[in-house]
Amino acid sequence: MIILAFYGIHRYQLVWLYFKNKKNAAKWREPVARFDEANLPFVTIQLPSYNEQFVIERLIQACCKLDYPRDRFEIQLLDDSTDETVEVAREIVERYAAGFEGMPPQPIFYVHRTNRYGFKAGALDEGLRTARGEFVAIFDADFVPPPMWVMQVIHHFAEPEIGMVQTRWTHLNRNYSFLTQVEAILLDGHFVLEHGGRSRAGVFFNFNGTAGMWRTKVIAEAGGWQHDTLTEDTDLSYRAQMIGWKFKYLQDVECPAELPIEMTAFKTQQARWAKGLIQTGKKILPRVMKSDAPFHTKLEAWYHLTANLSYPLMIVLSTLLMPAMIIRSYQGWVQMMLIDFPLFMASTMSVSSFYLVSQKELFPRRWTRTFLYLPCLMGLGVGLTITNTKAVLEALFGVQSAFARTPKAGIRKKGEKSQAHKYRKRLGIVPWIELLIGCYFAFTIWYAITSENYFTVPFLVLFVFGYWYTGLLSLLQGRFDWLGPRSQGETHEKPYPVGI
């Protein structure tokens, strides 16, 4: 708990950095310099894709509607698909390249690989070999960039030292389900306080793999896209910043995307990020510590790249709670207030306050609704410990694995039925382990009540809820699809407002 408390205190520090350096926040309307509007730089839009037949047209349509001179940008669909997406994507590209829905012919090209070497990093590297852009913007298949996105970002590169600009993710299907609401809060905390705090303080932060733009030559100077980690974006980000390039984060530029609608997809995504960050930490942290970067930059890099070590620590804490309660059964209130309460405030309350602040920054009029989601948010964090601990241990011991994509369903509103059933994956024995651990904590609650140790009961309830919620949803989601709508016609519903 002491080690977890240090990571918890770091969350308080990120909030402090965010507000302390508020004057340093970059805004898209206030670039330090601007390009000549009559001679804008050439931009390549890269769209890496793998088996995304249900969302690929939405992405291409949005990119073809970007408000940027048609003679100053190109679109590359970098498709590694192995299913029907190949035919679907090729037909869509040909349609837009020839002119479609009253639009002029679009500068869009289809690039297909069959070997998937290097996965996403390999596809991006393949595209760079023929890219003509001085700058390259990247969008994953589940993103829908708004028309003004390129114009909002490009002028910040008029500063010659800027190597990458990241924008904030928002959520197309935030209101789809309870799970997507909680996922949105988790991501908002990252994009507001982590990115905001780090960028404003001038320390290293990372490109998120999508919804960002790079100066093309920076990628080559930093060593190019490398695929020895599952978070190639973070790896490249640190390498670029260590050779002197500066990054910008535009919190006020939004790029909406689709959240995973099923627990298995969400856990797969989180496990990939957890494993990738530990892999990147093993690779990059020794270089960072030997570099001439300031101490506070090195310390922040350490916290950032090792944060997922908290998951194995949570497993240890979980297994020790029951024995600790038995051993300390005669502990009085004084010892509890001097030891347990401060550690609880540092390691647990920091999480809830972190996400409350992020929601208050984004939604000042309705942020108090977040209190309703906090117990579930913390419980979900607990429930992820088994999957993410497995991922972290694989990274620590050098176990390699393929890039596990997050299935995209292409849906936004409640009641819509996903067509992406064939992309659904099961997690084997892991959900059953989560249910068993939940039962263990249910027994621990019974022991706490019978021994009159009531202070620990709310804390233990979070563990029971977290493990049972993630375990049951992993097992049951998709089992009752036949209860849903039998068919879904084409929808002309307007998208949710960005940020809602």
Which residues does the annotation mark as catalytic?
80, 233
Are the C-beta atoms of residues 265 and 179 closer than 8 Å to each other? no
Q: What is the three-class DSSP state of 244?
A: coil
Q: Is the dihedral of CA 222, 225, 226, 229 positive or negative?
A: positive
The answer to whether residues 208 and 26 touch, using CB atoms and an 8 Å cutoff, is no
Name residue 426's amino acid: R
Q: What angle do CA 11, 15, 19 make, to 5 degrees?
A: 165
**List of residues 6+ apart from 465 with CB closer than 8 A:** 375, 376, 379, 382, 383
Neighbours of 58 (CB within 10 A): 19
- DSSP letter for each residue of 353-373: HHHHHHHHHH-TTTGGGHHHH
Q: What is the spatial distance between Cα 201 and Cα 446, in angstroms, rounded to a whole number? A: 47
HSE of 333, CA atoms in CB hemisphere, 13 A: 3
Q: What is the CA radius of gyration of the chain?
A: 23
d(CA 426, CA 385) in angstroms, rounded, equals 17
26: which DSSP letter?
B
Tabulate helix, strand, coil % of the chain (nearest 5). 55, 10, 35
Q: What gap in Å lies between CA 226 and CA 238, rounded to an integer?
A: 12
Q: What's the DSSP call for residue 341?
A: H
Among 307, 327, 297, which Cα is nearest to 190's?
307
Quick one: which H or E segment has residue 446?
helix 430-450
Which positions ≥6 away from 396 have C-beta within 8 Å?
A: 278, 282
C-alpha to C-alpha distance for 418 and 424, rounded to whole angstroms: 10
Q: Among residues 59, 73, 205, 250, which one has the least CA distance to residue 139?
A: 59
Give yes or no for a contact between 370 and 458, defined as CB atoms under 8 angstroms apart.
no
